[in-house]
A = this chain, B = another copy of it.
Amino acid sequence: MPSRRLFFALAAVLIAPTAHADEGMWMPGQLAEIAAEMRSAGFRGDARRLADVTRPPLSAVVRVGGGTGAFVSQDGLLLTNHHVAYGVIQYNSRPEQDIIEAGFVADGRAGERAANPDFRVLVTVGFDRVTDDVLAGARGRTGRAYFDAVDTASKRIVAECEQSGDVRCSVANMYYGTDFYRIRQLELRDVRLVYAPPRAIGNYGDEIDNFMWPRHTGDFTLLRAYVAPDGRPAGFSPDNAPYAPPAHLRVATTGLHAGDYAMLAGYPGITFRHRTAGEFARQVTHTLPQRVAVFDALIAAVEAAGRDDADVRTRYASQLQSLKNNRKRAAGELEGLLRSDAVRQRSDDETAMLARTRADELGGIEALRAVLAEGDAVAERDLLLGLVASQTQLMRAALLLERLRVESAKPDAERETGYQTRDHALIEGVLRQVQRRFSPSAEQAVLRTLLERYQRLPDAQRLPAFDAAFGRTPDALARALDAVYAASALGDEAARLSRFAEARDGRALEDDPLLALVRPLVAAQLEVEGARKAREGELLRLRPAYMRALFAWRAGQGRAVYPDANGTLRISYGRVEPLSPRDAVTYAPVTTVAGIVEKHTGAAPFDAPQPLLDAIARGDFAGTAEASLGTQPVNFLTNLDTTGGNSGSPVLNARGELVGLNFDSNWESVSASWWFDPRMKRAIHVDMRYMRWLMAKVYPAPALLEEMGLPAQ
């Protein structure tokens, strides 16, 4: 059959991976530098026009909750993910009108519903390099002094910047202390819910499909930002008017196909791509295996505690789920790094780089390694002691109360973040919630699991205060825990709240065995924290040498270096691309409504609403169908470089039109925060044609489509 042979020969030529990796979360200001690459990848606009975050189109891209969003009309209509806006939907849901389940279509602007008061949309209005200002006081210093100088300068810059009011400012650290930028963001506080699909569309597949491809989720929601009549940000008021954004994106009426250019803008949270080869190795040989092992042990302990106790099972169900998610995530990251051979590749690259690095920089890099080694030496202890606080309820409450007492003795501005006056409400909430998720036996099992591991650490890692409190053997530990949990009164909410009143005033706390136990522990933790800040100061001082070596090495290769993600606005570009995660398995890059029906079981999370199933059966996809598939597309897949925080990022075509909404990644790219493997890294988007079809034919909102300049039918 020669025609089939021809097909495979062609396939081999046409789908061979290109040399260019499409890796990169670029600062807008870098786009001019990579304009040629973007054009050769298929971009049809002017890359330099994208460079200014305060001008269109990037000024349409905003920070929403913990994710990203984009304005899509001149009247402040804002598109983001259903899961990013979930709190807003939940806040407006009532037993008698469950809009989480049923979805929501506002009845005109008057019908739009105010978001929870703490919900914010941030519009970036300034992005300025302040490196010299930040580092002026730090130069010549080392360790903790370096750290404090950077911290003090940053706080001063923020305070000065915010004096004008209306804007929220921050200082972003680029390239690990190499550069600092002052970011000014307009803080919009009156945000309203406009359109949300039903839960079983916006979150179709839920946890089962999370990180999965092929995917069939309508993970989008429309909000609208409002401002005071004078145009300034304000809290909710019926007198407010829609915010006129500096720009809005045009929704495309066409879609993308495999190989087509795509780009995305958003606020990716954190990546580790430019960490040293030693840090990569450490992650694979120690950090991730330790996390997997500790989470496994905690899961086993909590499950054993609940085996014959239904009450414990109920109270710890959520914590157990979270432990399992953490375990799965760490194991997935480890698996991905091993599969991609990331440690070897990073090491080879670093070796080649250092061979060409100027001798005067090598000293700094050597010193950097020594500081990293100091941190490694106490990493397992810090992991375990961190979990002692985060995986317990009563112990956490006691640690929180004692630390609050210590911090409250200082002037408010000097207190550690999290213990200032503005944090009191949050702390009180934590102290009130202990009961719901607490059982003394389960908590002691968790503590035994963590502290027995702590007891086995080498002497150099252990702290005398902890050894004194918990002894050196499992038996001593069990006795100490039994005694203190039997005697403590903190299991009683009133007892905790009376201590809270004392602690926030910096007064001595009424006696309690658990508080007596934690007092020296908190003191020890303060010392540990001081040492950590000194190390962080050194890292801030020394990492720039490593980054300079990287800049030089990449420049020699003709490649620019993007900074690791840090929650600031970035742009990625790449293309629509299928995924072949395993031998003989290929996933097409576009899914269709057929998959919704295939996955439908009638039970959550695969309980597609009847109106959706009926509309699919009717098959009226005119205007929103994908011609090559002859049906309605739902989600699509690109090789765009994303991480947490990119939820809700607009995906644009070569002409800068909005074609998709980013909402997830595939499981195989869980390790991409460290290493971008072009064979495996994919981002998952809602196809705007699916949103348009839902809004036109299933849960109609013709006025909103018209507002976005789209056909209403």
Q: Which residues of A contact B (CB under 8 A)?
A: 1, 3-5, 7-12, 14-15, 42, 213-214, 216, 257-260, 582-592, 594-595, 598, 628
Partner of A582, one of B9, B260, B586, B598: B598
| CB-based contact A260/B14 at 8 Å | no
List the B side residues contacting A583 at CB < 8 Å.
214, 216, 591-592, 594-595, 598
Asked whether B595 lies within 8 Å of A260 as measured between CB atoms, the reply is no
- Residues in chain B near residue A594, CB distance under 8 A: 583
- The 3 A-B residue pairs with the shortest CB-CB distance, nearest first, are A583-B595, A4-B259, A214-B584
Closest chain B residue to A634, Cβ basis:
B583
Knowing A10-B7, A14-B3 touch, does A214 contact B258 (C-beta < 8 A)? no
> Which B-chain residue is minimally distant from A637 (CB atoms)?
B584
- Would you mind naming 25 contact pairs between A and B with Cβ atoms under 8 Å apart? A1-B257, A1-B259, A3-B14, A4-B14, A4-B257, A4-B258, A4-B259, A4-B260, A5-B257, A5-B628, A7-B10, A8-B257, A10-B10, A11-B11, A213-B584, A214-B582, A214-B584, A214-B585, A583-B594, A583-B598, A584-B590, A584-B595, A585-B585, A586-B586, A586-B588
Q: How far is the CA of A598 from the CA of B339 in the complex (A)?
A: 9
A595's nearest neighbour on chain B, judged by CB, is B583
Minimum CB–CB distance for A320 against chain B, Å:
19
Q: In the bound complex, do residue A7 and residue B15 qualify as a contact, i.e. CB atoms below 8 Å apart?
A: yes
- B residues near A595, Cβ cutoff 8 Å: 582-584
Question: A412 to chain B: closest CB distance in Å?
Answer: 54
Q: Is the CB of B584 within 8 A of A8?
A: no
A609 smallest CB distance to B (angstroms): 18
- Give every chain B residue within 8 A of A587 (Cβ-Cβ): 584-586
Contact of A258 with B14 in the complex, beta carbons under 8 Å: no
Task: For A15, list chain B residues within 8 Å (CB).
Answer: 7
Docked CA distance A3–B18 (Å): 14
Residues from chain B with a CB closer than 8 A to the CB of A590 are 584
Known A8-B257, A214-B582; further 4 A-B contacts with Cβ < 8 A? A8-B258, A214-B583, A585-B585, A585-B586
- CB of A7 within 8 A of CB of B14, answer yes
The answer for the CA separation of A260 and B214 in the assembled complex, in Å, is 29
Taking the nearest CB of chain B, how far is it from the CB of A204, in angstroms?
13
Q: Given A1-B42, A3-B14, is A591 in contact with B584 using a C-beta cutoff of 8 Å? A: yes
Complex: A7 Cα to B258 Cα, angstroms: 10
Q: In the docked arrangement, what's the CA distance between A696 and B549, Å?
A: 51
Closest to A636 in B: B584
Question: Complex formed: what's the CA distance from A4 to B260 in Å?
Answer: 9
Closest to A628 in B: B8
Query: With A and B bound together, what is the CA distance between A583 and B14 in angstroms?
Result: 22
User: A87 CB to closest chain B CB, in angstroms?
Assistant: 31
A331 to chain B, nearest CB (A): 12
Residues of B within 8 A of A258 (CB): 4, 8
Contact A260 B1 (CB under 8 A): yes
Q: Name the residue of chain B whose CB is nearest to the CB of A593.
A: B583
A2, closest chain B residue (CB): B259
Residues in B whose Cβ lies below 8 Å from that of A3: 14
In the complex, what residue of chain B is closest to A214 when comparing beta carbons?
A: B584
Most buried by B among A14, A216, A584, A588: A584
> What's the least CB distance linking A635 to chain B, in Å?
9
- The smallest C-beta distance from A465 to any residue of chain B, in angstroms, reads 41
CB distance from A259 to the nearest CB of B (A): 4
Which of A8, A214, A589 has the most C-beta atoms of chain B within 10 angstroms of its own C-beta?
A: A8
